[in-house]
Amino acid sequence: MLLPGVSAAAAMVANAREAGQCVVFTNGVFDLLHPGHVRFLQAAAGEGDLLIVGINSDTSANCIKGVTRPVVTESERAEVLLALDCVDAVIIFNEIKPNLIIREIVPDVLVKGADWSADQIVGRDTVESAGGRVVRVSVETGYSTTALIERIKRVAR
């Protein structure tokens, strides 16, 4: 389900908690989805019952990744993510970091890649102070969107 905003995400989380489910949240740009992304999302989903993925809007992804990114639009990235069985919901956010979403939904589990140090993980304090936990999932070596784009450029030459 594509969540139209933070209030819809909060309602989904409230319903999940009422049903006794553990809510997991992760976020990223998820441009040009590759096996590293899929494995990461599968691991995140394994941490609970309901996985919500926050994706940076085209505008915020452009601020983070540079003027040539994202390659895939926010609506297309959301559609591809929602096609994965492990992803229950996607929310697109305009901010650079998902502070607002995390403060509103306060997931039981916040998942980020192990390439992020614990002190860099946005929302960690919010989740841990509410009794939740932060999980750092190992990142698959050899997979990156930037490397994939470079490989495409080499092949196109």
Predicted pLDDT of residue 145: 79
SS3 content of the chain, % helix, strand, coil (to 5): 45, 20, 35
- Tens-digit pLDDT profile for residues 104-117: 999 999 999 999 99
CATH class of the domain at 2-156: alpha beta
- Tens-digit pLDDT profile for residues 29-48: 999 899 999 999 999 999 99
Confidence of residue 149 (pLDDT cuts 50, 70, 90): confident
Predicted pLDDT of residue 56: 97
Mean pLDDT of 42-56: 98
Other C-beta atoms within 10 Å of 67: how many?
6
Sheet strands (E) in 11-66? 23-28, 50-56
CA 25/CA 7 separation, integer angstroms: 15
Identify which has the larger pLDDT, 147 or 24. Answer: 24
Please determine, for residue 154, whether its predicted confidence score (pLDDT) is greater than 90.
no
Going from N- to C-terminal start, the domains of the chain cover 2-156
As a whole number, the mean pLDDT across the chain is 94
Predicted pLDDT of residue 141: 77
Print burial letters for 107-117: b (CB count within 10 Å at least 16), e (below 16): bbbbbbbeeee
Predicted pLDDT of residue 140: 75
